[in-house]
Amino acid sequence: MLIKLAWRNIWRNRRRTLITSAAVMFAVFFSVFMESIQRGAWDHMLDNVVNFYYGYAQVHQKGYWDEPSLDLAMPADEAFVQRLRQTPGVQDAVPRVETFALAAYDQQTTGIMVVGADPAAENALTRLQTHLTKGNYWAQSDSPQALVAEGVASRLQIGVGDTIVLLSQGYRGVNAAGKYPVGGLLRFGSPDLNKRMVYLTLPVARQWLGAEGVVTTLALKIPDKQTAPGVVAALNSGLDTTQYEVMDWQQMIPELVEAKALDSAGNKLVMLVLYIIITFGILGAILMMIKEREREFGVLIGIGMQRLRLAFTVWLEVVFMGLLGVGAGIVLGLPLVYYFHLNPIDLSVMGEEAVKTYEKFGMEPVLPAVVEPGIFIGQALVILIITTILAIYPLWRLARMEPVQAMRA
């Protein structure tokens, strides 16, 4: 009965209802769009940086991450690898031998990162084969061909079929020099990876570096980033932490975490301003409602209507106006968010400076939107909380209202 009465009451003054709901609608629309773009951009960045190379967690010899030297490589003990793979949440442990090297072709040279990887396991973890733009993926686990990132190939002016020369210091100080045919070119979403990565098969990399039987990294294949902290905690409790270090992506790239936290704080500040605007809009509607209907409230109280029931009816009216605005904002925002989910905003049209700015963060200059129910549901909950708090005012006014004086108003 009260719900039906409240619904009818808000349409007694259509203009006030529509103005209040419109204010809520535009605030919800902008907050939904902003949060969708922000989350989508950061998810895209994490995919670029984490899934394209790091993985959500890695195991190293103690001290390797701070000083990435081949001398801190660890034995490739099959029993140890199997133990990692049997940990709940770990789908695979991908072995790698990593080192820095000088790459040369003709008269050009550049510094690079060389990764020796198992072709099948690496492809399962990072989908390396999907990043090929030219050439072919390794056909055999000991293929002698190198896969070169496009940024490296551009600097060296090298292509598929050419031979790249790699120079480095190998395991235990041995000299490492080798020539390898370029079997394919890779393009990564992260410009940073695109400028420095060269891949060899694991057996070939070990032979080049004199590092038979060791790995520098065991990258763990974990379903999603939410699972990673639990896996790291389980491994830290089960492994000898004086010999091994287990790190999740947040520990490996803390600057990315800090940048995300800073960006999220700025976005929340803007949304706070929008919610303050909504709050004052709803409060204005409540003040007008109480003033315009003071005589009506006095009559209702005078004929015996309980003040609490009356206050609850007014609260329902405010909630209905707020939820009308939320619903309209979601209906207005959902198609736009979904469109930019399928067609990310390309910031490269803003010029080279915009591209360079995003490259500093190691990401492509695109802003995809994410479609998550929690973003839309959250808006309804925030409006419900705001209206519940603002309902204290009409409750206070109705509790102090004198029916005779109100009817004379």
For the segment 83-105, the average pLDDT, to the nearest whole number, is: 91
Domain membership of residue 242 (yes or no) is no
| Residue 101 reports pLDDT greater than 90 | yes
Lowest mean pLDDT among 111-125, 281-295, 323-337: 281-295
Are 284 and 367 in a shared domain? Answer: yes
Q: What is the pLDDT of residues 272-288, one digit of tens each?
A: 887 888 788 778 877 87
How do residues 195-231 score in pLDDT, each as one tens digit?
899 999 999 999 999 998 899 999 998 887 778 888 8
Model confidence at 350, in pLDDT bands (50, 70, 90)? low
358: confidence class by pLDDT, cuts 50, 70, 90? low
Residue 227 lies in a domain: no
Do 80 and 195 fall within a single domain? yes
d(CA 215, CA 75): 6
Q: Does 21 share its domain with 90?
A: no
Q: What is the DSSP string of 37-82?
A: HHHHHHHHHHIIIIIIII-SEEEEETTTTTS--GGG-EE--HHHHH
293 part of a folded domain: yes
What's the CA angle centered on 280, arms 310 and 272, to 5 degrees? 125
DSSP letter for each residue of 91-126: -EEEEEEEEEEEEEETTEEEEEEEEEE-HHHHHHHH
- Mean pLDDT for the stretch of residues 102-124: 92
Q: b or e along 49-87 (b: 16 or more beta carbons within 10 Å of the residue's beta carbon)?
A: bbbbbbbbbbbbbeebeeeeebebbbebeeebbeebeeb
pLDDT at 25: 84
Share of the chain above pLDDT 70, in %: 91
Rounded to the nearest 10 degrees, the angle between the axes of helix 307-342 and helix 2-10 is 70
pLDDT tops 60 at residue 361? no
For residues 45 and 82, membership in a common domain is answered with: no
Of the candidates 194, 221, 248, which is a domain's last residue?
221
248: in domain: no
pLDDT tens digit string along 197-206?
A: 999 999 999 9
Number of domains in the chain: 2
Give the pair of three-digit tokens for residue 177.
């020099």
Per-residue pLDDT, 105: 93
300 and 322, same domain (yes or no): yes
Domain of 82 in residue numbering reads as 57-221
Q: Are residues 387 and 261 in the same domain?
A: yes
CA atoms of 309 and 289, how far apart (whole Å): 16
Residue 303 is assigned to a structural domain of this protein: yes
Q: Please tell me whether residues 335 and 368 are part of one structural domain.
A: yes
Same domain, 301 and 372: yes
Q: How confident is the model at residue 404 (pLDDT cuts 50, 70, 90)?
A: low
In-domain check, residue 96: yes
Higher confidence at residue 359 or residue 101? 101
Q: What CA–CA distance (Å, rounded) separates 196 from 150?
A: 9
Amino acid type, 64? Y
Same domain, 146 and 36: no
Task: Quote the pLDDT of residue 398.
Answer: 73
Mean pLDDT in residue range 163-176? 90
Q: Which of 176, 200, 221 is the last residue of a domain?
A: 221
Query: What average pLDDT does this structure show over 102-112?
Result: 92
Instruction: Please check whether residue 69 lies inside any domain of the structure.
Output: yes
Extract the tokens encoding 366: 């695109």
Q: Decide if pLDDT at 310 tops 60.
A: yes
pLDDT for position 55: 82
Any domain includes 337? yes
Cα–Cα distance measured from residue 232 to residue 59, given in angstroms and rounded to the nearest whole number: 9
pLDDT of the residue at 351: 61
| Average pLDDT of the segment spanning 397-409 | 66
Pairing of strands 146-149, 74-75: unpaired
**pLDDT of res. 259:** 77
Distance CA 40, CA 370 (A): 5
Q: Do 376 and 266 fall within a single domain?
A: yes
Which residue, of 205, 221, 237, is where some domain finishes?
A: 221
Do 79 and 130 fall into the same domain? Answer: yes
What pLDDT score was predicted for residue 406? 58
- Split at pLDDT 50, 70, 90, the class of 300 is confident
Angle at 137 between CA 364 and CA 199, to 5 degrees: 65
Q: pLDDT tens for residues 250-267?
A: 888 777 778 778 877 887
- Please give the average per-residue pLDDT across 174-179, as a whole number: 90
Task: Say whether both 108 and 42 belong to one domain.
Answer: no
Q: What's residue 363's pLDDT?
A: 60
145-168 pLDDT per residue, tens: 999 999 999 999 999 999 999 999
